[in-house]
């Protein structure tokens, strides 16, 4: 039972982080029994601009905001996630947390990948114990889980009791806009954690659902093999100016092979080397069907503009470099990639007193698989067991 029972009045949500993620969380709270009652950011100008745009109070810190909210929505860089989770849990506040869930934020030059995995394992055990003690609900904002195509595949798997034999999935684009992306101490890694968490979250979620449907128990990852590369740092790389190249100490390409408890497999690819917007899909090969989940672009709506100025300021498709020519636009902001649906599930789960589809267990498995992957990459692809919490 939560220490912070929810009344029939709208949930009071406080958003930590006034950048891109905070803004799309705010926009996707529409038509829900929730109201934003605060925003905070480390930069005063950022939080004040957000407060003015959305007509919400601005607070100097998460600690100052906590007494005025029921739910802390964490949309800050990953290095701040665990401190904010601890603060919210201690105050009995429910939590929504953006991906990546957490990680290791020391230097990769002075810390081995094995040390990183050990530290992350300890953190995941601690956060599980803390959440169990506090009785709060955590929603892990992995939008791929909520993409309509993935949810339809989940329905197919559950209804037909399908056995998933293998999956392939990817998320790639031409580099993050975040000023701290590419800095391990802020992001906890590069492409593998920053982008790979999305397709990995989708495949782990579907295997969990398969196991529950077939045997009443989630099917979880047991081992991984991985390779990472820094393509844009290679002497042979020719920079034409279309790809981000500012990566201090992180990779810009990763490949992760996952083996599940039942021996079935999944392959995840992720990188910063793709132009033309986000390339985001998940394909399932089962014993009774095959499904291609086309997440981004969704190809529901194609819009043509003869001049980029015509659509300036419109959120037609994420990470595209120019609103000119034919554009595979989103029919509704946040619909095709699941961002709209995840906020609905989180708010309703808290109100109903249940666990969301993307919960703490999934967040922990994703994090553990990624850092086992970093250990494997350091060993040039050797198989590494995924620690269990």
Query: Tell me: the pLDDT tens digits for 318-372?
Result: 778 778 888 888 888 778 899 999 999 999 999 999 999 999 999 999 999 999 9
Per CATH, the homologous superfamily of domain 146-335+364-385 is: Dihydrodipicolinate Reductase; domain 2 (3.30.360.10)
> Which portions of the chain are predicted below pLDDT 50?
1-7
* pTM of the shown model: 0.94
Q: CATH second-level architecture of 11-142?
A: 3-Layer(aba) Sandwich (3.40)
CA distance 289 to 1: 40
pLDDT of res. 380: 98
According to the model, what pLDDT value does residue 308 have? 79
pLDDT at 309: 84
pLDDT, position 298:
82
Residue 1, pLDDT score:
34
Write down the domain spans for the chain. 11-142, 146-335+364-385
The pLDDT assigned to 328 comes to: 85
Which pLDDT score is estimated for 334?
Answer: 79
Predicted pLDDT of residue 8: 63
**pLDDT at residue 317, as a whole number:** 79
């Amino acid at each position: 039972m939560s220490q912070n029972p929810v009344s029939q009045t709208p949930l009071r949500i406080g958003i930590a982080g006034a950048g891109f993620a905070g803004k799309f969380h705010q926009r996707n709270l529409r038509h829900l029994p929730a109201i934003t009652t605060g925003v905070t950011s480390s930069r005063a100008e950022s939080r004040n601009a957000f407060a003015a745009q959305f007509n919400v109070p601005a607070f100097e810190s998460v600690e100052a905001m906590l007494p005025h909210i029921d739910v802390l929505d964490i949309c800050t860089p990953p290095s701040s996630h665990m401190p904010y989770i601890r603060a919210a849990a201690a105050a009995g506040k429910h939590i929504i947390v953006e991906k990546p869930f957490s990680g290791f934020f020391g230097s990769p030059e002075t810390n081995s990948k094995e040390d990183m995995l050990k530290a992350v394992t300890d953190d995941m055990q601690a956060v599980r114990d803390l959440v169990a003690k506090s009785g709060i609900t955590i929603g892990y904002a992995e939008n791929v889980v909520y993409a309509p195509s993935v949810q339809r595949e989940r329905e197919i798997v559950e209804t037909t009791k399908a056995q998933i034999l293998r999956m392939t999935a990817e998320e790639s684009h031409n580099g993050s806009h975040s000023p701290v992306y590419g800095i391990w101490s802020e992001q906890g890694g590069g492409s593998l954690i920053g982008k790979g968490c999305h397709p990995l979250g989708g495949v782990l979620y579907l295997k969990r659902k398969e196991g529950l449907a077939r045997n009443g128990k989630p099917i979880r990852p047991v081992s991984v093999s991985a390779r990472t590369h820094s393509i844009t740092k290679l002497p042979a790389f020719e920079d034409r100016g279309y790809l981000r190249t500012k990566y201090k100490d992180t990779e810009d390409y990763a490949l992760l092979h996952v083996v599940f408890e039942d021996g079935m497999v999944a392959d995840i690819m992720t990188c910063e080397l793709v132009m033309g917007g986000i390339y985001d899909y998940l394909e399932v090969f089962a014993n009774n069907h095959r499904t291609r989940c086309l997440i981004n672009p969704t190809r529901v709506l194609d819009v043509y503009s003869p001049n980029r100025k015509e659509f300036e300021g419109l959120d037609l498709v994420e990470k595209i470099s120019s609103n000119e020519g034919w554009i595979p636009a989103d029919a509704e902001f946040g619909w095709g990639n699941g961002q709209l649906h995840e906020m609905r599930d989180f708010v309703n789960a808290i109100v109903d007193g249940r666990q969301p589809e993307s919960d703490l267990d999934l967040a922990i498995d994703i994090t553990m698989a990624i850092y086992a992957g970093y250990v494997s990459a350091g060993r040039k692809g050797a198989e590494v067991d995924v620690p269990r919490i």
